Amino acid sequence: MPKEPKVTGLSPNEGPPGTKVTIRGENLGTGATDLTGLTICGVNCLLTAEWVSPSKITCKTGLCKGKGEVIVTTRSGGLGTCTVTFRGYVMQTGPLEESAVWIDESTTTDKRGRSKSSSALFRKNEDPLGMSMEGKGKFPIDQLEEMFPEGSGDPSNDKFLSEWFLIENHHHTSFEDLKSGLSYLKRKSSQRSEGPLAFMKGNLTSIMDCQDALAAMHQDLLKDESTSEGGSITEKLESLLNKANDSANAMYQDVLGRKDKADATRNALNVLQRFRFLFSLPGSIERNIQNGDYDIVINDYAKAKSLFADTEVQVFKRVYLEVEKQIEAFRGQLTEKLMQLPSSLDEQSKLIRYLMDLGAPGDPAWDCLVNQQKWLLQLLLDCKEEHIKQAQSAPSVAGSEGDTPSHTPLKYRPSVGTPGSVFTPGRSSVKRMPSFGSTQSPDQAGWKFKTPQRVQFVDDLTDVLLENFPDLWKLWEGYSTGSLLNETAEKADVANQEKETQFKKMVEEVMAVYSKLLRAAFLPESLSSSPEERIKYGVWPEGKYDNMAHWLPQFVRTIRSCYGTLSGMNLPDETTHDVRDVAQDTRVHCVTTLLQQATEDVKALNDRETWTVERDDRGGITTLPLLFENIITELIQHLKEVVQSRAEESEIFRGADTRIKVSKLCEDMLSAFSVTMDQLAFRTDTEAETTCIASDSLLPTSQQPSSGHDELTSPSEHIPPLERRLVIVLSNCSHTREKVLPKLIDLLEKNGYPEVQKVQKGSQSCFSGLDEKLFDAYLEQKADPLVGALEPGVYAGYFMWNDCLPPRGVRNYVKEALMNLIAVHAEVFSISPLLVERVLSRLLQALAEEMLRLMECVTDWSRDGAIQARLELCALQDALALYKTPESSKSFHDALQIVPPVTSAADRKNLEELMNKFKSNMQLQLTCFRSDSLKRTLV
């Protein structure tokens, strides 16, 4: 069982409060946590106790006075005992003693002058009634306090109450005893009052002796005074005393001086202690700045400012000055930090708040705004410089690519996604040039799929603006509304008007620079032509400019999204005008460029004609119109986004100039196809030859074995003879005019292109012109031999109308003409059945006119001749009845008028027979025309 703690040794065994005591003994606990109590002279010292071992504890004494035990309490052993005692005392440090600690002398009471309170009637522990106070039960104090709330049982106390005293000490005493006590008290007091007298009585002889001695001394003194030389004895005494005083002074001067010094030092220490805050402020400010505890610094500074700013004390002034200097430096540091960009808005507002709290001069927020704006401008310009440099560093690639600008762009539009769809199977010249591809394709591919520098530039520039400008704006908003700094709210109101206009100007400047940079990149011609300005906003290498077209929509998208973001920020309207204008201009530019591009593309289509006719029920066309349509549709799709106006933007085709320009371009674009077709149709054979040779010569010899198939599909093989070409193109043309064009016009109108009617009219007239031209050309090709063959045919075999055999049937020339027509029919029908009627009716017309002319030339008719002529005319008319036109009918009619009428019935019968014979003989041939009509009726 654990034993109770026992203290058997103390080192030291006495001391003033705070003495470190080593307590030794037994069972002083099993550990630091086992120790639960430690009292020295009844004063708890557990707080300072330090458990060392079960036999040793050290602690510091508390405020104890007098002797007392040291009791240790442990959890394991309970309350302990003690065999030794500790004596506590309060040490008073006198003025002449050295002291390691500061002694507050203000509370030190000088006891020298105070009389001792020995006038108390009774000594303690001595009963005033002369009776023992020990051994009797005392009356409980608290009850007494209840009975006499304002009294005291202490005879030396002012509020002494005899009742209290008696009840407290003598409530067991008998009345007799009290009586005798009273008499004792009376005796005592009488003794006291007659004390001196009694003393005199008792010592009368001694007193007399003293008096005698004093008298003798007096006489001696008088004698000395009278006999001694050099003045009275008191004088001597005085001088002696003075000397003694002097020497005493001298002796103590040192000590007193030291005391003064000590006092001064203590004073200084005291001041240092009391104003430690101020004195340690420079150090703590530096430390806190280093630690980044700016709030503490600001608080400290505010405190110091309020306390010491107006101080008159030199020391404070000096220290405060130092603090001010530090804060000044700190402010500088903060300002520098604030001016350091990029930084987040939070960081900035924090710094600004710090600066304001530190009472920085001027307007740090405004400075910050100005700085940030400048920085942003610089950033924009830097962006430009960098990109221009990069663009210039790769001009060779741009140049080589710039040489072949015409067909690449649309194919590589990033948004189209499937460039292969634009390719036609036959159009594979690039594919069929492996050497060309193998040597250059890596570079080309690299370039093709790499975003051009300018587009990157625009993206980056916009990124830079959108990344940094909102911060600037938010900072301004915070600044202008005062939310940045609560206390400057009123101040901001005053500054607002002036600052707002200034800031607006700043924003405008940013926007102007931004938009001008954009213009420099994409619309250099829209900038003012002064060379400095051009240089300022960057001169881009020109080479690649043509290839930019397909990047334009992206560019437009970027700018518009930028403008959208900007206008979403509630910026003042006038500030974003520049950007809006740029957006507008770029849109127009984009549209026009792409339209031009498309026109080029359309013009380039003639290289891609395959002459492969694909027929549908409406007629045969090649892929060309489809390609044309594709190009335009794609373009319109592509431009859709660009053309569509957003809420905050104005209509793209608002300006009259723009409208005219765009509609003109549209018209050009559409008409370009007619030009293309024109070229295709009337391309001379020599041209085709050279193209063929040119492409053939590019074929490497190694490719010969496998080129057999290629040759079959080579363009020269494919280019059909002129007549066929004409028909194909004619078919294409009419198809385009009737089907494609309305579709496209419709599309244009839907997409809000301006003056579509005019475009339609223009392009339609263009196409019909082409149609006429083609048709005429074709007719010329066909009608000339047909018609030319008639006259020799009529007069073949020296045939004379007035002198001929009776007709035996339709002569060969009619059949020949019909066969020719059938050939034409076949040719046209194979390409476009729809054209057959048109062509044949025109041919018939020409035929009829020729026949009429021939008939008019005949002056003399024989009967047989008349029958013959009538037969042949009727046969022709009959065979081609399907293609008759008013003109041809009239011609035939006129011709028949010229021919003398057949009057006799036999002749008429003969004519009919011959006619039937012709029909039956030529049935097969005639069916070709019929079948056509059959087909047409079916359709």
Partner 1 sequence: MASKPKPLQMALHKVIMVGSGGVGKSALTLQFMYDEFVEDYEPTKADSYRKKVVLDGEEVQIDILDTAGQEDYAAIRDNYFRSGEGFLCVFSITEQESFAATADFREQILRVKNDENIPFLLVGNKCDLFDKRQVTIETATAKAGEWNVPYVETSAKTRQNVDKVFFDLMCEIRDRKKEETAKPDGKKNKKTKKEGKRKKKCVIL
What's the min distance (Å) between Cβ of 84 and partner 1? 4
Select the span of 77-85, 172-180, 529-537, 909-917 touching partner 1 (CB under 8 A): 77-85
Q: Which residues contact 52 (CB under 8 A, 6 or more apart)?
A: 58
DSSP code of residue 4: P
- Minimum distance from CB of 28 to partner 1 (Å)? 11
Looking at beta carbons only, is 86 or 165 nearer to partner 1?
86
Residue 512 buriedness (CB in 10 A; 0-12 / 13-18 / 19+) = middle
Q: Which stretch binds partner 1 (CB under 8 A): 79-87, 251-259, 527-535, 732-740?
A: 79-87
CB of 162 to partner 1, least distance (A): 27
- Which of helix, strand or coil describes residue 859? coil
Q: Residue 85 CB, nearest distance to partner 1 (Å)? A: 7
Question: 614 near 620, Cβ under 8 Å?
Answer: yes
Rounded Cα–Cα distance for residues 870 and 202 (Å):
206
Structure tokens that stand for 361 in this block: 């001069």
Nearest approach, Cβ of 20 to partner 1 (angstroms)?
A: 10
Using an 8 Å Cβ cutoff, are 449 and 443 in contact? no
Task: Tell me whether residue 84 or residue 523 sits nearer to partner 1 (CB atom).
Answer: 84
Q: How far is the CB of 15 from partner 1 (least distance, A)?
A: 7
- State the minimum distance, in angstroms, from the CB of residue 197 to partner 1: 16
Residue 13 as a binder of partner 1 (CB under 8 A): the answer is yes
**Closest separation between CB of residue 170 and partner 1, Å?**
26
- As a three-state string, the secondary structure of 333-377 is HHHHHHHCCCCCHHHHHHHHHHHHHCCCCCCHHHHHHHHHHHHHH
Is the CB of 199 or the CB of 252 nearer to partner 1?
199
24 binds partner 1 (CB under 8 A): yes
Among the residue ranges 81-89, 425-433, 485-493, 712-720, the one whose residues contact partner 1 (CB under 8 A): 81-89
Q: Which residue bears the tokens 């301004």? A: 476
For partner 1, the binding residue among 55, 707, 862, 925 (CB under 8 A) is 55
Q: Which stretch binds partner 1 (CB under 8 A): 84-92, 307-315, 399-407, 872-880?
A: 84-92
Gap between the Cα atoms of 518 and 516, Å rounded:
5
* C-alpha–C-alpha distance, residues 490 and 247, integer Å: 75
Contact 616, 557 (CB under 8 A): no
Which CB, 11 or 439, lies closer to partner 1? 11
Q: Say whether 78 sits in a helix, a strand or coil.
A: strand
Among residues 25 and 809, whose Cβ is nearest to partner 1?
25
According to DSSP, residue 152 is labeled B
Rule CB under 8 A: say whether 12 interacts with partner 1. Answer: yes
Is there binding between residue 93 and partner 1 (CB under 8 A)? no
Closest CA relative to residue 372, chosen from 348, 405, 346, 339 = 339
Question: How many of the chain's residues bind partner 1 (CB under 8 A)?
Answer: 14
Using CB under 8 A, which of the segments 82-90, 96-104, 382-390, 839-847 binds partner 1?
A: 82-90
* DSSP line for 660-681: HHHHHHHHHHHHHHHHHHHHHH
| Smallest gap from residue 198 Cβ to partner 1 (A) | 13
Q: Strand 6-11 and strand 81-82: pairing?
A: parallel
Report, in Å, the least distance between residue 2 CB and partner 1. Answer: 17
Indicate the residue among 11 and 242 with the shorter CB distance to partner 1: 11
| By the rule CB under 8 A, 60 interacts with partner 1 | no
From the list 12-20, 144-152, 337-345, 516-524, the region that binds partner 1 by CB under 8 A is 12-20
By beta-carbon proximity to partner 1, the closer residue of 96 and 445 is: 96
Which residues, at least 6 apart from 575, have a Cβ–Cβ distance to it below 8 Å? 504, 507, 508, 511
In the chain, the largest separation of any two C-alpha atoms, in whole Å, equals 222
Query: Quick one: how far is CA 112 from the chain centroid?
Result: 83
> Residue for token digits 């300018």?
454
Q: Which stretch binds partner 1 (CB under 8 A): 13-21, 247-255, 368-376, 816-824?
A: 13-21
Verify binding: residue 9, partner 1, rule CB under 8 A: yes
Q: Residue 83 interacts with partner 1 (CB under 8 A)?
A: yes
Q: Does 15 bind partner 1 (CB under 8 A)?
A: yes
Q: At its nearest, how many Å lie between partner 1 and the CB of residue 13?
A: 4
Least Å from the CB of residue 26 to partner 1: 9
84 binds partner 1 (CB under 8 A): yes
Distance CA 363, CA 496 (A): 13
- Closer residue to partner 1 in complex, CB, 14/816: 14
Task: Please say which residue, 4 or 696, places its beta carbon nearer to partner 1.
Answer: 4
Q: What's the min distance (Å) between Cβ of 268 and partner 1?
A: 30
| Pick from 310, 288, 313: nearest CA to 300 | 288
**CB of 13 or CB of 30, closer to partner 1:** 13
Q: Which is nearer to partner 1, 83 or 406 (CB)?
A: 83
Q: Name which of 56 and 917 has its Cβ closer to partner 1.
A: 56
Pick from 169, 646, 178, 607: nearest CA to 406:
607
Nearer residue to partner 1 within complex by CB, 96 or 535:
96
Q: Which of 9-17, 238-246, 252-260, 439-447 is the region at the interface with partner 1 (rule: CB under 8 A)?
A: 9-17
| Peptide bond connecting 886 to the previous residue in cis, omega within 30 degrees of 0 | no
What whole-number distance in Å separates Cα of residue 814 and Cα of residue 921? 13
**Which of 23/730 has CB closer to partner 1?**
23
Q: Say if CB 71 and CB 33 are below 8 A apart.
A: no
If binding is defined by CB under 8 A, does position 99 make contact with partner 1? Answer: no
Smallest separation (angstroms) from partner 1 to the CB of 266: 25
- The residue range among 80-88, 234-242, 246-254, 800-808 that interacts with partner 1, by the rule CB under 8 A, is 80-88
Give the count of beta carbons closer than 10 Å to the beta carbon of residue 593: 20
14 vs 696, beta carbon nearer partner 1? 14
10 belongs to the binding site for partner 1 (CB under 8 A): yes
- DSSP conformation letters of 251-292: HHHHHHHHHHHHHHHHHHHHHHHHTHHHHTHHHHHHHHHHHT
User: What is the C-alpha separation between 888 and 837, in angstroms, rounded?
Assistant: 13
Interface residue with partner 1, options 30, 48, 76, 85 (CB under 8 A): 85
Q: Which amino acid is at 759?
A: V
* Count of residues in the chain: 939
Task: Please give the backbone phi and psi of residue 896, each rounded to the nearest 5 degrees, phi first.
Answer: -65, -30
Closest by CA to 403, choosing from 608, 540, 544, is 544
CA distance 872 to 856: 15
Closest to partner 1 by CB, 13 or 713: 13
For residue 580, how many other CB atoms are within 10 A of its CB?
A: 20
**Nearer Cβ to partner 1, position 84 or 688?**
84
Judged by CB under 8 A, the residue of 11, 249, 333, 378 near partner 1 is 11
* Shortest Cβ 126–partner 1 spacing (Å): 13
Q: How far is the CB of 11 from partner 1 (least distance, A)?
A: 4
* Binding residues for partner 1 (CB under 8 A): 8-15, 24, 55, 83-86
